């Protein structure tokens, strides 16, 4: 057992000193996002933000969970996300949206003629920066 621990220690030190650990990391990421091109991968204080692309479609993920896609968002999801809550109010004027505003949600809320103000807060500021860098819009 002591011999195996020594081999593991030497291997760990080698990986830390050399740049091979980064190669291993990116190799694993390529396998994780197989079939898509990984264009952005960054950790923030709150989550891991990943952007992939495939056939001119950018897909945004937070901790591996899909956030939205551009330039063609998931319209069914966006409409359900916006219209169901707003149908419970007879005359929505002021909207507070906490997270999830990119990918067509803000545009869908703006379709309501009664809405005067939309206050949008994104919990992770890195998401806004990454969206500004990669998101495209067809409108």
Tokens of 35: 């079939």
In the CATH hierarchy, which fold is given to the domain comprising 33-134? Rossmann fold (3.40.50)
Minimal CA–CA distance to 95: which of 70, 105, 104, 137? Answer: 105
Residue 130 burial (CB count, 10 A): 23
**What is the C-alpha to C-alpha distance for residues 8 and 5, in angstroms, rounded to an integer?**
5
Give the pLDDT of residue 1: 80
Residues 6 or more apart whose CB falls under 8 angstroms from that of 132 comprise none
| Per-residue pLDDT reduced to its tens digit, 81-102 | 899 999 999 999 999 999 888 8
Give me the residue spans of the domains in the chain.
1-32, 33-134
Give the pLDDT of residue 137: 55
φ/ψ of 103, rounded to 5, equals 80, 25
Residues of the chain with pLDDT under 70: 136-139
Give the pLDDT of residue 21: 76
Give the pLDDT of residue 139: 46
């Amino acid at each position: 057992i002591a011999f195996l621990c020594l081999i593991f220690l030497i291997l760990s030190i080698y990986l830390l000193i050399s740049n091979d650990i980064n190669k291993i990391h990116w190799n694993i990421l390529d396998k994780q996002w197989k079939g898509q091109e990984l264009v952005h991968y960054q950790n923030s204080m709150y989550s891991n933000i990943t952007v992939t692309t495939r056939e001119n479609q950018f897909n945004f993920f937070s901790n591996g969970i899909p956030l939205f896609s551009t330039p063609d968002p998931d319209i069914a999801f966006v409409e359900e996300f916006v219209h169901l809550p707003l149908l419970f109010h007879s005359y929505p004027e002021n909207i507070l949206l906490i997270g999830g505003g990119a990918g067509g949600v803000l545009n869908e809320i703006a379709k309501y003629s009664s809405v005067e103000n939309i206050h949008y807060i994104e919990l992770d500021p890195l998401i806004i920066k990454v969206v500004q860098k990669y998101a495209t819009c067809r409108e």
